[in-house]
Amino acid sequence: MINRLVLCLAALVLAAAPASAVEPFIVGGVAADQEYPFVVSLQSSTGKHNCGGSLIAPDRVVTAAHCVQGRNPDMLKVRIGSNDNSQGGEELRATGLAVHPEYNPDGARGDIAMVRLEKAAAAAPIPLGASAAPGTTTRLLGWGQTCPELGCADKPTQLQQLDTSIVAPEECATVAFDGAVELCTDNPGDTAGSCYGDSGGPQLAKVDSKWVLVGVTSRPGNDSDTCGTAPSIYTSVVAYTAWITEQLAAPTPQPEPSPEPSPEPTPEPTPEPTPEPSPEPSPEPSPVPTP
């Protein structure tokens, strides 16, 4: 089975662990050197970080399908616009989830999902990129582990970033990979890349000195449980622009209206009792004549 499930389950285990246990960060990266108002920490209802995400519309977040498949939106919330996943920014509840219909945990397509928020966020969304070809310089963001083995780091809360680039699809050929809808992303020095807890987070590119979203963290490019030993695989936001646009246009589900209460029946007026007719008096007997 593709390692994305391992990464997701690991993130959930970490989120449920005590405060002294591991939380997520990128391996080989550095602390974020700027604010990213669109960056999202997808959390449990109790505030534990599970996955990353990106605000792409005032009330929509894009993340990885494996982060939310089968989950109840009532048990999720997001923190938007803070480099610290434990404080700051804005907290909003999730009210709906949409997983791409092609997503299959054992396949190489459709690892993308949308989270609908309870209301519009105050932060500015990030625009979607229009292209993402091999050779494109990109930046990865996430709260995933900073060391490559599961459970090897202290609890961090600060966002990490890693500058890398998209490489040829052949670099990810050792696992299921679809170059038409996925991005093979370099692991600098064969030691850096996304790791446990980075799932769903953004891959950015710069266009006219502004960040655009080109990818969503999906899984490693090999079968190793050690992070950074192969390129990372990102779902191409560019390839799924049509699906994203369709989801953004979907109307907000309206709650079922409460049934109107049945009107109280108007009581029938009690009929007045019909008075009994008075008995007619018996006629006086005629006097019998005296003989």
Please give the mean pLDDT across all residues of the chain.
Answer: 84
Q: What are phi and psi of 158, to 5 degrees?
A: -90, 140
Question: Per-residue pLDDT tens for 81-108?
Answer: 999 999 999 999 999 999 999 999 988 8
Domain count, the chain: 1
Is residue 100 within 8 A of residue 113, CB to CB? The reply is yes
Residue 217 lies in a domain: yes
Candidate from 76-80, 142-146, 211-215, 273-277 with smallest mean pLDDT: 273-277
**Mean predicted confidence (pLDDT) in 157-186:** 94
Residue 280 scores a pLDDT above 80 = no
CATH number at residue 32: 2.40.10.10
Residue 131 lies in a domain: yes
**Mean predicted confidence (pLDDT) in 70-81:** 97
Separation CA 232–CA 195 (nearest Å): 9
Residue 211 lies in a domain: yes
Is 208 one of the catalytic residues? no
Residue 158 lies in a domain: yes
Is 49 one of the catalytic residues? no
Q: Which of 111, 186, 218, 236 is catalytic?
A: 111
Separation CA 76–CA 264 (nearest Å): 42
**Which domain range does residue 190 map to?**
4-249
Residue 274 lies in a domain: no
Q: Which residue has the higher pLDDT, 53 or 6?
A: 53
Residue 281 lies in a domain: no
Q: What is the pTM of this model?
A: 0.79
- The predicted structure's pLDDT at residue 61: 99
Q: Which of 194, 199, 218, 236 is catalytic?
A: 199
pLDDT band at 269 (very low <50, low <70, confident <90, very high): low
Q: Which of 49, 66, 186, 236 is catalytic?
A: 66
Residue 228 lies in a domain: yes
* DSSP per-residue codes, 152-176: -S----B-EEEEEEB--GGGGTTS-
**Mean predicted confidence (pLDDT) in 7-14:** 42
- The predicted structure's pLDDT at residue 76: 98
Tokens found for residue 90: 């804005």
Is 225 one of the catalytic residues? no
Question: Per-residue pLDDT tens for 120-131?
Answer: 999 999 999 999
- The predicted structure's pLDDT at residue 14: 37
Dihedral, CA of residue 23, residue 25, residue 194 and residue 112, to nearest 10: 70
Residue 108 lies in a domain: yes
Cα angle 191, 196, 199 (rounded to 5 degrees) comes to 105
- The predicted structure's pLDDT at residue 180: 96
Is residue 51 within 8 A of residue 199, CB to CB? The reply is yes
